[in-house]
């Protein structure tokens, strides 16, 4: 890259000189300003290829610098430097056209990367046509295949912070209700980190019995225990050089928590039955939908592990607290499922949108996505109508009755969550509902057990074997699912 002229504005002498050193080391010509006023004066006298400015400064703050620069030269990228408590203003700065923002304190590598990126963009000529103030109507931040759709200021702030945090190897704890997008955010952090080329390995701590979790995490040697017929690599080993996602970390038992803490402290793992610890380089992201702090207070979670994990905490807001996002997400999923099913469903009717907006979404975005998937499938016309959405059990039944009037079914007793010994996934479902379920291949009738097996298989397939998710889709508890699977194993033997 050719030599670029960079203007740095910061009122802290140490930071100024650190930035000067870092940027001249990259081979650029750096000019310094001690406050916003001086920066603007210098920019008026001479054009720079890039401006790096602190947000809080005397005389004129970083936002003022940004606005002037953008007015005089819309194509010049501006990078903001902010302190932790100023993230809100930083988001505003992004709206005003800032290229990036960097959270203090930062290692030299972060600013170098940001500067390289900004200069690459501007020399590609992309920013020449960039409007001075590009309103951030929505953000489609990439996390692999799945975009993160949001326009909520809280989420935008969170994504900006996630991008920053991604650059460091710090452990991240993602807290949020079920279905809020914790895994999506974890993938986003991985994708935006220097480890993006490495593996991303996820393990749900609730999906395995305690006895298996340890060897799943750390691997085991041949003969370590009955059934360990061969050496097995653990998830940590598989994630070497990349990121491991420990889902539902609260479900890990205390003994294993102690082992995990050691891994985080020492950067090495002990295979079950192994003699030598093994060095690993893995970034840990943990998620929980419980209040881990309360678990610590109740003695169910180790305080030292909690603090170790909680270096950088993220709280993902529930969907009901992101009202801005609801129509945006609903539209996104409508389009996605219309395309997937090759159906001409071109809109959500205003009434449908209203119905969606008045629902509290306890299952958050996952529930919204499932609702729209169903809504698009069931839509009889060009728009999704409220009755296509089946927002609750009653609505579901009513809709089924409309589509297939059937004699009233006798009331069932077993709830879907903890069925009695005789029950199956279909208890509580009336015959009309059963009629609407997927027909077996070849049109032959199946027994309820066969159907149940097939549904469980499908759910596990769709969730890549994630039992928690599969159980949620099926509307049963993880324990029930586990029991069912054990039953099948017995009957198959
Ligand atoms: N902002 C978003 N934009 C688009 N899709 C989203 C968004 N947030 C979540 N989703 C989708 O919603 C579903 C649930 O997200 P995810 O699995 O990340 O949630 P989670 O918090 O990990 O849930 P759980 O606690 O149940 O494991 C996924 O299909 C995901 O792609
Ligand atoms: Mg998850």
- Tell whether ligand 1 has an atom less than 6 A from the beta carbon of residue 180: yes
Q: What is the CATH number of domain 329-391?
A: 1.10.8.60
pLDDT score at 313 = 82
Residues 6+ apart with CB under 8 A from 216: 203, 208, 234, 235
Q: Is 104 in the pocket of ligand 1 (CB under 6 A)?
A: no
**Domain extents for the chain?**
5-129, 142-315, 329-391, 431-492
Closest listed ligand to the CA of 187: 1
Looking at residues 288-301, what average pLDDT do you find?
92
Counting ligand 1 atoms within 8 A of each CB, the residue from 365, 469, 470, 475 with the most, and so the one to mutate, is 365
- pLDDT (0 to 100) of residue 393: 52
Give the Å distance between the CA of 287 and the centre of ligand 2.
7
Phi and psi based region of residue 237 (left: phi greater than 0; alpha: psi -120 to 50; beta: remaining):
alpha
Residue 283 has what pLDDT?
95
CA of 367 to the centre of ligand 1 (A): 9
Is a pLDDT exceeding 70 seen at residue 436?
no
Query: How confident is the prediction for the chain on average, in pLDDT?
Result: 80
Backbone angles phi, psi at 454, to 5 degrees: -65, -45
List the one residue out of 32, 34, 44, 40 whose CA is nearest residue 6: 32
Q: Which ligand approaches the C-alpha of residue 180 most closely?
A: 1
Residue 189 in tokens: 């952090």
pLDDT tens digits, residue range 23-62? 988 888 899 999 999 999 999 988 899 999 999 998 899 9
440-473 tens-digit pLDDT: 444 445 566 666 777 787 788 777 778 888 888 7
Q: What is the largest CA-CA distance in the chain?
A: 84
Contact 206, 294 (CB under 8 A): no
Give the DSSP H/E element, type plus range, for residue 477: none
Confidence band for 394, pLDDT divided at 50, 70 and 90? low
For residues 283 and 328, what is the distance between their CA atoms, to the nearest angstrom?
32
What angle, 0 to 180 degrees and rounded to 10, lies between the N-to-C axes of helices 62-72 and 36-45? 10
Ligand 1 pocket mutation, candidates 155, 173, 179, criterion most atoms within 8 A of CB = 179
Say whether pLDDT at 397 is over 60.
no
Q: What is the pLDDT of residue 398?
A: 52
Q: Which of 333, 366, 462 to mutate to test the pocket of ligand 1 (most atoms within 8 A of CB)?
A: 366
Pick the CATH number of 142-315 from 2.60.40.420, 2.60.40.10, 3.20.20.70, 3.40.50.300: 3.40.50.300
Predicted confidence (pLDDT) at residue 296 exceeds the cutoff of 50: yes
Q: Is ligand 1 within 6 A of the CB of residue 248?
A: no
Q: Which residues contact 69 (CB under 8 A, 6 or more apart)?
A: 40, 43, 51, 76, 78
CB of residue 473 inside a 6 A radius of ligand 1: no
Taking only the tens place, the pLDDT of each residue in 54-101 is 999 988 999 999 999 999 998 899 998 887 666 667 777 777 778 877
SS3 283: strand
Per-residue pLDDT at 183: 94
Q: Which ligand is nearest to the CA of 155?
A: 1
Count CA atoms closer than 13 A to 110's CA, side-chain side: 22
Is the backbone of residue 82 left (phi > 0), alpha (psi -120 to 50) or beta?
A: beta
Would you tell me which CATH number, out of the four given (3.40.47.10, 3.90.380.10, 1.10.10.60, 1.10.3720.10), belongs to the domain 431-492? Answer: 1.10.10.60
Considering every ligand atom, which ligand is closest to the CA of 316? 1
Global model pTM greater than 0.85: no
Radius of gyration of the chain (CA): 27
What CATH number has the domain spanning 5-129? 3.40.50.2300
Indicate the DSSP class of residue 275: S
pLDDT digits (tens, 9 = 90+) for 190-223: 998 999 999 999 999 988 887 788 888 998 888 7
């Amino acid at each position: 890259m050719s030599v670029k002229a960079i203007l740095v504005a910061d009122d802290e002498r140490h930071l100024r000189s650190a930035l000067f050193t870092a940027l001249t080391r990259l081979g650029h010509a750096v000019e310094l300003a001690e406050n916003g006023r001086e920066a603007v004066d210098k920019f008026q006298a001479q054009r720079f290829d890039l401006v790096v400015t602190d947000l809080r400064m005397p005389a004129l703050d970083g936002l003022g610098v940004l606005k002037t620069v953008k007015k005089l030269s819309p194509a010049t990228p501006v990078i903001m430097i902010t302190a932790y408590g100023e993230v809100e203003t930083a988001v505003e700065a992004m709206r005003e056209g800032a290229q990036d923002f960097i959270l203090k304190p930062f290692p030299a590598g972060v600013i170098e990367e940001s500067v390289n990126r900004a200069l690459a963009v501007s020399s590609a000529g992309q920013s020449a046509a960039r409007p001075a103030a590009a309103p951030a109507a929505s953000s489609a931040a990439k996390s692999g295949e799945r975009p993160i759709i949001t326009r909520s200021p809280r989420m935008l702030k969170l994504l900006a912070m996630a991008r920053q945090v991604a650059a460091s190897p710090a452990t991240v704890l993602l807290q949020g209700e079920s279905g809020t997008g914790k895994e999506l955010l974890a993938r986003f952090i991985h994708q935006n980190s220097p480890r993006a080329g490495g593996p991303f390995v996820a393990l749900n701590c609730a999906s395995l019995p305690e006895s298996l979790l340890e060897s799943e995490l750390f691997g085991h040697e041949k003969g370590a225990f009955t059934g360990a017929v061969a050496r097995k690599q653990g998830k940590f080993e598989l994630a070497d050089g990349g990121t491991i996602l420990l889902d539902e970390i609260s479900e890990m038992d205390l003994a294993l928590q102690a082992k995990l803490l050691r891994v985080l402290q020492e950067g090495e793992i002990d295979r079950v039955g192994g003699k030598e610890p093994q060095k690993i380089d893995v970034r840990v992201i943990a998620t929980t939908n419980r209040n881990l702090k309360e678990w610590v207070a109740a003695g169910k979670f180790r305080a030292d592990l909690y603090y170790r994990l909680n270096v950088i905490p993220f709280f993902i807001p529930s969907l009901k607290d992101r009202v801005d996002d609801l129509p945006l997400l609903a539209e996104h999923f409508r389009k996605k499922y219309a395309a997937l099913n090759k159906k001409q469903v071109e809109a959500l009717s205003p009434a449908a949108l209203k119905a969606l907006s008045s629902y509290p979404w306890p299952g958050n975005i996952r529930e919204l996505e499932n609702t729209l998937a169903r809504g698009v499938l069931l839509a009889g016309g060009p728009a999704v109508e409220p009755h296509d959405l089946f927002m609750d059990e009653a609505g579901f039944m009513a809709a089924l009755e409309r589509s297939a009037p059937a004699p009233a079914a006798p009331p069932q007793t077993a709830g879907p969550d903890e069925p009695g010994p005789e029950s199956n996934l279909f208890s509580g479902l009336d015959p009309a509902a059963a009629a609407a379920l997927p027909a077996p291949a070849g049109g032959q009738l199946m027994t309820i057990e066969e159907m149940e097996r097939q549904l469980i298989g499908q759910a596990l397939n769709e969730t890549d074997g994630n039992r928690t998710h599969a159980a949620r889709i099926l509307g049963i508890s993880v324990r029930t699912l586990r029991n069912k699977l054990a039953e099948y194993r017995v009957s198959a033997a």
